[in-house]
Structure formats: structure tokens, C-alpha cells
Amino acid sequence: MCLTIPAKVVSVENSCAGLPVKRITIRDSKGEKTINALPADIRAGDWVLYASDMAVEKISEDDAREILELLEPKRYIDISRLDSAFLEILKACHTRELRREEIIRLLCIGDDAETNALLSEANTIRQARLRDFFCIHGIIEFSNHCVRNCLYCGLRRDSKDIRRYRMAPDEIVNSVYDAVNRRGYKLIVLQSGDDFFYTDDMLCGIIRKIKEKCRVFIFMSVGERSRASYEKMKDAGANGVLFRFETSNKALYSSIHPGQSHDERIALLREMKKMGYFIATGFLIGLPGQTVEDIADDIITTKSIGANMVSVGPFIPSDITPLALHPAGSAAMTLKVTAVSRLLMPKAKIPVTTALETIENEEGRRLGLSSGANSLMFNLTPEKYRDDYRIYPNKYHGKEEFWEKYGLYKEEISYKMLERKMFEAFESFEV
Ligand code: SAH
């Protein structure tokens, strides 16, 4: 679902009798504009939720203020403390590609004034380019079996202390129906370990059944499979993939992914892009031995692959893995990476990832959304399996209802808006 933005109604035009929509003028932080309104009993002074050019619902002033505070925080920036070289970089991102050393300079910021300026700049770019393109997406984790042995991941093949589960194809399809038809989700990620129990035919069957009954964008996050598998899933109706390259540093990649090839993972991503998939990719922050230079290269790699969605999160140690004692990636670095990604990829979708929410809770969501991110990813895995999808412990869930309240659910307009925005941003993208 797409999030709607609160605004105050300044005036209502007298509508022609019989017309289902009214014309209203609203005011928000960007000024005044005239849009259509669905609620019949709308009056000047009311607060409404709007998306694009349509006011969809009336809300209380208290609710409006609560969400505005979340989406449009006020940051105090002491400009006198910013040096001219730093300001030059923030300016340059509007007119040209930032250079590697400039990205490194931004990632090395330790000072509050510079951090605030960077995060604010990213928020300003997000507001200017994607004003009403705030979405909530869902993820269903349908199997925690995995043939790989990634050192950081609790689902790794050698993890003995987890209860493994697989959802039956119908159970997966029904979970998606519920998320779409009852709760109003419009984009769902289907994720699992690299689990070849699910054959291509099974995955394609699931995708087809979902597509027959629901207007929803389906993103597959099922790991390394053959190019042919991805071709088939595309033909069956899958729209996107969520497939991180994890790190751009090849030596680091080999040291934590036994038996896997970095070159092959990147080549597969590039193939997926050619197949017409909407690409969600990214990396982990805080891996052992990872440097700031590596992270700069990670951002550059994400952009060079042509990511439509940037998926970046801090590493979180899992007690049942070989990296149990390695410290978690920092929230501060994750926010800087979110902001720099927004500077480099102004139109990309950037979700606040669960891992950031896990180390910072609700504050992580708020900080992410005000530092360049423009979507949230809620966990829709059926309750009985959730705790067993233990990539890392204590995953954050919460306040979904609060956020869903601001979504445009069950409305066709919400799907249409997402579809239109995706087309606008990614010309080659087909539903
Ligand atoms: N099998 C799929 C999905 C992997 S799990 C695939 O290979 O694409 C999804 C993501 O969780 C991974 O890409 C990884 O970046 C992230 N992840 C795994 N373990 C993690 C940990 N300990 N901390 C933070 N993120 C982790």
C-alpha cells in the first residue's frame, strides 16, 4: 500500500450536483494545491489524507500531526559549522555523479552538524522527487531451509538449533490473498533460504495462482537459482527480485560465503536486470573487516547494477553462527548509507530494513524515513513460523496498525498509483 500524506483543507469548491468527487484546495508544508476529494462531507478546516491528486479520507487533527512529525522532522542545522568542501559535495550531487572519494568523505562524517546536514539533504531530495511515493510492502518468509552456509546467517545449512519449516504452496498463496485482499498490500516479497525443495514448477504455480486472483507486485527472494529458473518465474508473472550481492569486496565475499562465487552472483543480478525484473539489491553493513572504502564501493555497485530498490541493512550477530561474537553494524552508518544512496539514486525505492528497526526499534523507522528512505517492509509471515525464520535474533515487529492506518488499502487507486510511479521511475518496467 502507498502511504498517504496529511494536509489541511483550505477551501471546498461547490461541486456540480451528482458528481462523485469534489475539488478542494489543501495546504501542506509545500504550499497550496487543488486536488480531487472522495469524502462527501468535506469542509474547510478538515484534515485529509491525500495521495497524488486525490484526498481519500478525513482524519483527526491529532492523527495528522502525529504522522507529519514522523515524515517531516525538524532538524536543527548549524551551517556555521559546515566547511565549504563538505557543502560543495552536497551541492554537486544535484548536477553530477559523486566521486568515490566524495562518497567516502560523506560516510566518514562523525560530527553532528554534518550528519544532520547530510540526512536533511537526503530527506529534501526524497521529498522533492518522490513526495507522495511512501509505500508499505510486505514480506512472507515461506521456508527457512537453506543449502548455503553463509557465516553470518542463522538459516545456514549447519545451524542445528533452529526448527526448520516449509509453507505449502496453497498456504503461501492464501497468505498473499489475505495480505492483498484484506489488508491492502500491493507489493509482496516471497523470501526463503536457498531451498530447492521448491521446484521451478512449484514456484511458478504459486506465482500464477497469486496473479490470477490478486492485483499485486510479486518480488522473489529465493537466492541463487539458474537463469532458466528466473526466466520461468518472470514468464509466470513475477515482477521483481530481492537479491543482495552482500558485499562488493570479493575477498570478503569469499571468506563469508563458502563455496559461492561473487562473480556469479553479480552476473546473475545483471541477467535478471536484462530479463526485465525490477531489481532490489544491496549489501550488509558491519561485516568483519569491511572498510568505509568497501561501503562506498557497495553503493557504487548497487547503482551500477541499476537497482530500482536499494536494500541495505546492518549485520546483526546471531548466536548460532560462526560470527556470533562479531559486533553488529552501526545504525549511524546505516543512516549515512541510506542518505548517500538517496543522493546517488534520487528516484530509487529505499526501504527501511528490518535489521535497522531491530537495532533501533520504532525510532529506526522514523530515522530511516527522514534520512532518504521511502518505504517500509512489514513482516507478514504467519505467526506460527515467524520466530523460526531466525536469520538473526529478536527481529523487530510492531506498530504495523499505526502505519497501515495511513495506507490506502483495498483501493484500486493505491495499486494504480504504485503502478504509475513504478512506470515513471523505471521506464522499462512492466507489470
Ligand atoms: N536466500 C535468499 C534470501 C536470503 S536472507 C538470498 O540469498 O537472496 C535475506 C537477507 O538477509 C540476506 O541477503 C542477508 O543480507 C540478510 N541477512 C542474513 N543474515 C543476516 C544477519 N545476521 N544480519 C543482518 N542481515 C542478515
Establish whether residue 159 lines the binding site of ligand 1, counting it when its CB lies within 6 angstroms of any ligand atom.
Answer: no
Read off the pLDDT of residues 184-228 as tens digits, 9 standing for 90 and up.
888 999 999 999 999 999 999 999 999 998 989 999 999 999 999
Establish whether residue 278 lines the binding site of ligand 1, counting it when its CB lies within 6 angstroms of any ligand atom.
Answer: no
Q: What is the CATH number of the domain that holds 52?
A: 2.30.30.140
Of 59, 84, 101, the residue at which a domain comes to its end is 59
Q: What is the pLDDT of residue 427?
A: 43
Q: How many domains does the chain have?
A: 2
In a domain, 11, yes or no: yes
- What Rg value do the Cα atoms of the chain yield, rounded? 22
Ligand 1 center from residue 311 Cα (angstroms): 11
Residues 225, 352: one domain? yes
Residues 235, 383: one domain? yes
Ligand 1 center from residue 245 Cα (angstroms): 10
Which residue has its alpha carbon closest to ligand 1 atom 25? 315
Q: Please list, in sequence order, all residues whose beta carbon lies within 8 angstroms of the beta carbon of residue 276, skipping any fewer than 6 positions away.
A: 234, 428, 429, 430
Establish whether residue 194 lines the binding site of ligand 1, counting it when its CB lies within 6 angstroms of any ligand atom.
Answer: yes
In a domain, 90, yes or no: no
Choice among 154-168, 246-260, 303-317, 388-402 with the minimum mean pLDDT: 388-402
Q: What is the pLDDT of residue 200?
A: 98
Query: How deeply is 317 buried, as exposed, middle or buried, from its count of CB atoms within 10 A (0-12, 13-18, 19+)?
Result: middle
Q: What is the CATH number of the domain that holds 300?
A: 3.20.20.70
Phi, psi of 102 (to 5 degrees): -70, -40
- Output 425 or 212, whichever has higher pLDDT: 212
Q: Which of 178, 300, 209 is nearest to 248 (CA)?
A: 300
Establish whether residue 313 lines the binding site of ligand 1, counting it when its CB lies within 6 angstroms of any ligand atom.
Answer: yes
Q: What is the mean pLDDT of residues 297-302?
A: 98
In a domain, 120, yes or no: no
Ligand 1 atom, smallest distance to 193 CA: 1
Establish whether residue 246 lines the binding site of ligand 1, counting it when its CB lies within 6 angstroms of any ligand atom.
Answer: yes
Read off the pLDDT of residues 24-59 as tens digits, 9 standing for 90 and up.
999 887 789 898 888 878 899 999 888 777 888 888
Q: What is the mean pLDDT of residues 153-165?
A: 96
CA distances from 337 to 32, 235, 284 (A): 33, 34, 11
Give me 392's grid cell: 538473526
Residues 42, 154: one domain? no
Q: What is the pLDDT of residue 431?
A: 34
Q: What is the mean pLDDT of residues 145-173?
A: 97
Residues 47, 158: one domain? no
Establish whether residue 189 lines the binding site of ligand 1, counting it when its CB lies within 6 angstroms of any ligand atom.
Answer: no
This prediction's pTM: 0.90
Read off the pLDDT of residues 48-107 as tens digits, 9 standing for 90 and up.
888 777 888 888 898 888 878 777 767 778 788 898 999 999 999 999 999 999 999 999
Residues 9, 144: one domain? no
**Whole-number percent of the chain with pLDDT over 70:** 90
Of 27, 43, 59, the residue at which a domain comes to its end is 59
Domain range enclosing 15: 2-59
- Output 59 or 285, whichever has higher pLDDT: 285
Which residue has its alpha carbon closest to ligand 1 atom 11? 391
Residues 32, 138: one domain? no
Ligand 1 center from residue 355 Cα (angstroms): 10
Q: What is the pLDDT of residue 133?
A: 66
